[in-house]
Amino acid sequence: MIKRIILSLIALALIGAGAFWLLTAPGTLSLADLPDHEPDVEHGQYMFYAGGCASCHATPGSEDKLALGGGLKLASPFGDFYVPNISPDPEDGIGGWSTLDLVNAMVKGVSPDGSHYYPAFPYTSYQRMKLEDVIDLKAFMDTLEPVKSDVPPHDLPFPFNIRRSLGGWKLLNLDGKRFEPDPSLSDQINRGAYLVTGPGHCGECHTPRDALGGLERSKWLTGAPSPEGDGKVPGITAADLDWSADDIAYALETGFTPDYDSLGSSMAAVVRNTSHLTSEDRAAISAYLKSVPGQ
């Protein structure tokens, strides 16, 4: 009797382990899933600024914000993450990556070796991007100078250091959907929505998270605790931000607020990127933010 119980428990454990392995398997796109698109380097540079890539991936302390050696430490309740090198260096960076590799990293959160990326890399937002924009981004990044660097590994306690478990997290937080314009909204607001929810990944900082680190979509852009545990990231909805659309667009261009102050901390880095956008896109972002009612 005891032997039968033990065998049954072993069988259940094996079944559970097999189910876990299947459910948490990384999902990727294939070459057949990519659009027939000729890469546009100039537009790729524009998407580089729209996505704020240098804000995290530029080598800390470097004056050259296109030196993407990584190494920035991102503290979180789950442990410390270190931003990787994404320069074209073939050994330390992504110089050996194909376009498909970058697409899978950005919209699926999967590395070229088939392992899950931690969502400190905001692929839950990048999944909304047009694949053509990601392809253009890769073309531009390939033109940058390779950078040698030695980025430390993530410092995460158990169980967060088990990457395979991220497959379960993705079942809750990664739906694989591209951005779809809302036909009830104007073209300008839809453009702003795309930039904010996709490449701009504004919700990653300005939206609170649940106990597992997923975005609380019902509280979209209403503000959140600082991921580093010091202070609060403000809400940027119409209910939270008592600025006009012109005020928001001006702040995104210059870094100056309506009360004659200046944006600081991580927003200063954001402005270094949004200042490269067209005035039409900054206006679109502000129009979208004013359309989000908040709470």
Residue 24: predicted pLDDT: 61
Q: Which of 144, 178, 212 marks a domain boundary?
A: 178
Tell me: do 157 and 47 sit in the same domain: yes
Looking at per-residue confidence, does 126 or 262 come out higher? 126
pLDDT digit string, tens, across residues 28-41: 899 999 999 999 99
Whole-prediction pTM:
0.89
Q: Is the pLDDT of residue 229 over 90?
A: no
Handedness of CA 250, 254, 260, 263 (dihedral sign): positive
Task: Answer whether 198's CB lies under 8 Å from 125's CB.
Answer: yes
Q: Which domain holds residue 75?
A: 29-178
What local confidence, expressed as pLDDT, does residue 123 receive? 96
Q: Convert 202-216 to b/e letters by CB count within 10 Å (16 or more is b).
A: bbbbbbbbeeebbbe
Answer whether residue 16 shows pLDDT above 50: no
**Mean pLDDT of the chain, nearest integer:** 88
Residue 99 shares a structural domain with residue 172 = yes
Look at residues 178, 148, 154, 177 and name the one whose alpha carbon lies nearest to residue 166: 154
Q: Say yes or no to pLDDT of 11 above 60.
A: no
Query: Is the residue at 17 inside a domain?
Result: no
Number of compact structural domains in the chain: 2
- Specify if 11 maps to a domain: no
80 or 15, which is more confident: 80
User: pLDDT value at position 255?
Assistant: 87
Q: Is the pLDDT reported for residue 8 higher than 70?
A: no
Report the share of the chain in percent with pLDDT over 90: 65
pLDDT at residue 281 is higher than 60: yes
Per-residue confidence band for 21, with pLDDT thresholds at 50, 70 and 90: very low
Q: Are the CB atoms for 87 and 93 separated by under 8 Å?
A: yes
Domain shared by 163 and 35, yes or no? yes
